[in-house]
Structure 1
């Protein structure tokens, strides 16, 4: 049985709508809590898929959050295996850092549901199913596209929304995995950030309900397409 390791940093930011797809594929799931984990106890070669989820901290916040040093070393070791790796939000930013790219604050927050523009110049872009689909954005940092990587998508507020590295690595700035029906957990968990950024909570709730079915279908299709291309099944 194939095994997937999921690094989670905040309890409610889990693999959401995409987790059942791994279960259907009979892939064994193992969650670990990044801030509480001794990564030296895990061997990257034991896993067929690594998923690194988001968090409201920065990719270069090692001094404030020392656990990131171990986590980065683990991801770096996994990268060398050339097995499938999916990074979302902070996870994508950590991958960008390891590949030598800058990760830095934006001049504004990008929070809410809005569409992304898919890079049509990339053959077989794994994000093609998300064209014209409002996805959930929730970040204040952005990454540059690392060398040897292909940019996959952009948005009006953030030019670099996703990239792929050697096909087996997919990094997403946006939250394709988030379950819109559980948006209230995000609103409570990130309440201070939302208040400081003057985000309209009422509109977030409306959009979460409005786009739930569409986003769930497109998110699952995108994830399965990427896995199928890599023959992870």
Structure 2
């Protein structure tokens, strides 16, 4: 076991750029597939930092492994462990904190502009007033009681929240790499519907991909550095 735990839920939603950041810092980490029951028997008192990645399932699905994962997240909250949730991971954090998760009337998909809603949060200290984060989701979270809304987009009011000093829930995917974006766009054409104004076309999503991913990686690195600093790991 290591000090850093990353929870994943499907093979095409890996740690992505987060893993690259940790490798660069020479920080070892464990990756567990929650959907495969790999949390069973894991020592919940061990990790000093937890990240939760995305997945195509709904937090509201009645699945034993989802219930077990939410229970584990609640234990990490009790322990005051710094946590970052990405898309499904952000929804899981919101659910563990007592908030509702519900369907949007459309799918938000592509490079969507984030607008800051809170000017003083250290999670946002590295960011301008507006910047893009890649999106692919049909569910959204309510802001948990006692949490602070940090980011909004034109199609999704609740794009990020903080709870206390140590929890960040994100609706988007700042962890994406060039390979992940192109893999999703080319691998799941059945989900693309650019007639929806909340979606971008495949051509638009893939245009200038190296530059756009590099800019978003810098956004993600600010989140990850603050998360690791809270955990005393950098």
Q: Give 1:69's aligned residue.
A: 67
Aligned pair count reads 230
3-state DSSP class of the match of 2:67? Answer: helix
Computed over aligned residues only, the root mean square deviation of the Cα atoms, in angstroms, reads 2.2
CA distance in 1, matches of 2:29, 2:222: 20
Q: What are the within-5 Å matches in structure 2 for residues 31-46 of structure 1?
A: 31-46=31-46
Distance 2:31 2:230 in 1: 24
In structure 2, the residue matched to 1:124 is: 121
Listed as ranges, the gaps of 5+ residues in structure 2 are none
- SS of aligned partner of 2:157: coil
State the Cα distance separating 1:95 from its structure 2 match: 1.1
1:53–1:89 CA contact under 8 A, matched in 2:
yes
Contact 2:44-2:72 within 8 A present in 1 as well: yes
Equivalent position SS for 2:80 = coil
- For the Cα contact (< 8 Å) 1:130–1:219, is it kept in 2? no
Q: After TM superposition, give the deviation of residue 189 of structure 1 in Å.
A: 4.3
Change (3 A) 1:130 1:112: farther
> Residues 184-208 of structure 1, C-alpha deviation per residue, up to 9 Å, x if partnerless?
2212443332259675212111153
Q: Which of 87, 101, 115 is residue 113 of structure 2 equivalent to?
A: 115
**Alpha-carbon separation, structure 1, partners of 2:187 and 2:67:** 25
Following the alignment from structure 1 to structure 2, what is the Cα–Cα distance between the partners of residues 194 and 129?
Answer: 32
Contact 1:119 1:125 in 2 (8 A): no
Alignment partner for residue 170 of structure 1, among 168, 178, 181?
A: 168
Gaps of 5+ in 1: none
Greater shift in the superposed pair: 30-39 or 149-158: 30-39
Offset of residue 181 of structure 1: 4.1
Secondary structure of residue in 1 paired with 2:4: strand
Structure holding more helix per residue: 1
Deviations 1:44-71 (A, max 9, x none): 1111111111111111112xx3321211
Q: 1:143 to 1:178 in 2, by over 3 A?
A: same
Q: Distance in 2 between matches of 1:229 and 1:32?
A: 22
What does 1:182-201 align with in structure 2 at a 5 Å threshold? 182-194=180-192, 200-201=201-202
Contact 1:96 1:146 in 2 (8 A): yes
1:40–1:212 CA distance, 2 compared to 1 (3 A): closer
